[in-house]
Structure 1
Amino acid sequence: MTNELGTVIEGRLGEKGWSISRFMLESGVSPDVIAGLIGPDQLSDMPDESTLVRFSEVLDLPYRQLVVAAGVACGLPKNQEGEPTFVLRFVTNEELLTELRRRLVRGRSHGDAQRRRLTHFALMQHALAVEAS
């Protein structure tokens, strides 16, 4: 069994008729990174932004869908319908932009990859908390 992000990626690869090898070539992401994202049952941390952006472009999937799937793969709960692509539907764009601005300002001086992964994870937690309330 694979995690939510792996399920989304493998499903899209099946739709496109691509192998994992072709996906690696098209995305330019190393085999170790891809295996680490789609192989385990749960991810230990969020993938970095550039990887998810690249996957989004190559697979023709919405970036938000991949972020949500990655959040679920990290252990965040799915919504009531069990569909990770709609977790953020109750969060307004203004709420997301406000939270993103706050976190970008706070993290501007600490812009390393780990910080960006934590920011993605925190944004997902915030979105789920707003949805739950």
Structure 2
Amino acid sequence: MLGLSSLLSQELASRNWSLRELATRSGIAVSTLSNLINKPDVMPDLRTLNALSISLNLPFRQLVEACGIPVDAHPTDEDATIQVLIAAVPEVRMFLNLLGQLSPDDRAAILSHLRWKVETSTNA
């Protein structure tokens, strides 16, 4: 398995792209991309991985694994459902990316609010 640094270098070479080209396509600063390639210990956030996934047309999972984060090779039914939701409802991807930036307490508060909202909407 390639590390993220190697994967990005390989993708740039195969597409004959410069860092500036990838920066333009992904919306990621050239300095950030340079750090990801030249400093293999740098761990990008989920927004960066998502932007790379989209701009390079690579599976998000591949980028996560390239960071050294193991991903279950046999997704559960719940994992499959989540993937379908992400594909079917564009806001889910954005919601998950934003949720990943919050503290555990803030995530719990958001979840509580969503439960309340669903309960009050379905009872109306």
Normalising by structure 2, we get a TM-score of 0.56
Q: Against the structure 1 CA distance between its residues 93 and 51, is the aligned structure 2 distance closer, same or farther, given a 3 Å change threshold?
A: farther
Local SS of the residue matching 1:9: helix
Higher relative contact order (CA 8 A, sep 6+): 1
After TM superposition, the structure 1 = structure 2 runs for residues 73-88 of structure 1, keeping only pairs within 5 Å, are 87-88=71-72
Distance apart, 1:89 and its partner CA: 1.0
Distance apart, 1:39 and its partner CA: 1.1
Contact 2:53–2:63 at 8 Å: present in 1 too?
A: yes
Size of the alignment, in residue pairs?
89
Residue 55 of structure 1: aligned partner: 52
Distance in 1 between the 2:55 and 2:64 partners? 15
Q: Against the structure 1 CA distance between its residues 92 and 41, is the aligned structure 2 distance closer, same or farther, given a 3 Å change threshold?
A: same
Residue 94 of structure 1: aligned partner: 78
Distance in 1 between the 2:38 and 2:4 partners? 10
Distance in 1 between the 2:31 and 2:16 partners? 22
Distance apart, 1:58 and its partner CA: 0.5
CA RMSD of aligned residues (A): 3.2
Which sections of structure 2, spanning at least 5 residues, go unmatched?
83-95, 109-124
* Structure 2 counterpart of 1:55, one-letter code: L
* Structure 2 counterpart of 1:63, one-letter code: F
Q: How much identity, in percent, do the aligned residues show?
A: 29
Residue 122 of structure 2: aligned partner: none
